Structure 1
Amino acid sequence: MTLLHLRAVTRQFATIDGPALQILRGVDLDVAAGDRVSIVGRSGSGKSTLLNLLGLIDQPTTGVIELDGEPVALMSARRRDRLRGASVGFVFQQFNLIEGLTAAENVAVPLHYGAGRRYWRRAHLAREMLDRVGLGHRLDTRATHLSGGEQQRVAIARALVRQPRLILADEPTGALDIETGARTMDLLDRVATDAGAALVTITHDRAVASRARRVLELVGGRLHALEPSEVAA
């Protein structure tokens, strides 16, 4: 079943004294439930712009984006916000943890915007998720006292605590050493599999990209499929 569907998606930005800056020039992409996709590209190729579109943070200049067959352009801003909170989990390169909070408090943050049972059980759900990523012994440790690898695991737990169907990982190993980065990707893939979530990784690292079932390269504002031999090159 197709979870996310993009056709002929473009994104351009106005400039002060010149022509509009064309970042994406016609992106086609289908992401199925439980899929594993990596998107590679050079700095400035538009990977972050595409990530914002996939995560319903931004809207395309032209083209169609559908979530579960429903055109995003027809949704109200409030509905997009609700869907993003319920269906999309973000894992960032710089972790984006709140320094003054403990690991458990950081993971519980997304649950403060929910309602019902999840809201009232937010502390328990945060502890449970940290156990799953191997940090049950660091629940009450402030973010500033965690190692880089531990901070990334907290960020993964926070992204998954609401059980999203789509996980977007933006350079998830970029701030980590090679060994810690490999362990982080193992963990991210395992918890995504357990949750049945699709995982889309934005990366410049071909070793990270090669772990996905499909590897796409963003060149000239368009996505092109890469063969395994091209990924390893």
Structure 2
Amino acid sequence: MSLIRLEGVTKSVSLGDDQTLEILRGVDLTVDAGEHVSIVGRSGSGKSTLLNILGLIDSATTGGQWFDETDVGRLRAGRRDRLRGAEVGFIFQQFNLLQGRTALENVMTPLLYASGSAFWRRRSIATEMLEKVGLGHRIDSMPHRLSGGEQQRVAIARALVRRPRVILADEPTGALDIETGATVMRLLDDVTSADGAALVTITHDLAVAALAARHYTLDSGVLSASISRDLPVTA
């Protein structure tokens, strides 16, 4: 049973004067729990729009979208927001850490919106997650005191702290050197596999894309399957 399913998804916006910009064109995609899928595309190919739809931030213009067999298109805005908060974790290229907060406080932030024991145990849960990504000794460090790789690991811990079922990684190694980026991707794969989460990596980096079990390319809004040796060269 698929965790994520898109069928014939399109996204278009009106430019006025009866002109329409087609961003996504009939996208079909399924991702199972525990699976790592990569999507490669140039700037302007529609990657960000697809990420926002997968992350329940934006809605498709036409087509169907299901999350664990729930028809997303039938959900009210509030229900979508709650589903996103509980089940989707985002990892961004620029880390987006709160500069005035420690590593621990950054990772605790999503748990401020949790309920029950997760809220009351937020400090211990966040500490355990930082230990899981190898930063148990850095919990009191401010972001500017951390290396790029350490900041990205804090961002990963923050994305995973509520144990979401879907992880969306947007250019997760774009701000890192090659060696650190490879380490971060191995860590991300290990942690998400252990939790049985679906991982979708959206990138222009072919080395990062090749780490996934399945690979897709997005070109002018059209998503197509590819294999590692046939991944396109991107700018």
How many matched pairs?
Answer: 233
Q: Is the 8 A contact 1:93 1:170 kept in 2?
A: yes
- 2:155 paired residue number: 155
Q: Is the 8 A contact 1:3 1:32 kept in 2?
A: yes
Whole-Å separation in 1 of the counterparts to 2:16 and 2:128: 50
- 1:8 paired residue number: 8
Q: What TM-score comes out, normalization by structure 1 length?
A: 0.97
- 1:205 paired residue number: 205
Whole-Å separation in 1 of the counterparts to 2:173 and 2:18: 37
- 1:91 paired residue number: 91
> How far 1:227 moved relative to its partner?
2.0
**Structure 2, gaps ≥5 residues long:** none
- 2:194 paired residue number: 194
Asked if residue 128 in structure 1 is aligned to residue 131 in structure 2, the reply is no
Aligned residue runs from structure 1 range 137-176, under 5 A = 137-176=137-176
Whole-Å separation in 1 of the counterparts to 2:90 and 2:50: 13
> How far 1:13 moved relative to its partner?
1.5
Aligned residues: CA RMSD: 1.1
**Structure 1, gaps ≥5 residues long:** none
Whole-Å separation in 2 of the counterparts to 1:145 and 1:17: 51
- 1:222 paired residue number: 222
> How far 1:18 moved relative to its partner?
5.6
- 1:21 paired residue number: 21
Whole-Å separation in 1 of the counterparts to 2:144 and 2:102: 9
Q: Is the 8 A contact 1:210 1:232 kept in 2?
A: no
Cα distance change, pair 232–19 in 1 and its aligned pair in 2 (3 A): closer
Q: What TM-score comes out, normalization by structure 2 length?
A: 0.97
> How far 1:231 moved relative to its partner?
2.5
> How far 1:232 moved relative to its partner?
7.9
> How far 1:20 moved relative to its partner?
1.6
Whole-Å separation in 1 of the counterparts to 2:31 and 2:232: 23
Asked if residue 103 in structure 1 is aligned to residue 95 in structure 2, the reply is no
**Post-superposition CA distance 1:113-136 (Å, at most 9, x none):** 111000000011110000000000
> How far 1:165 moved relative to its partner?
0.7
Whole-Å separation in 2 of the counterparts to 1:232 and 1:67: 29
Q: Is the 8 A contact 1:206 1:231 kept in 2?
A: yes
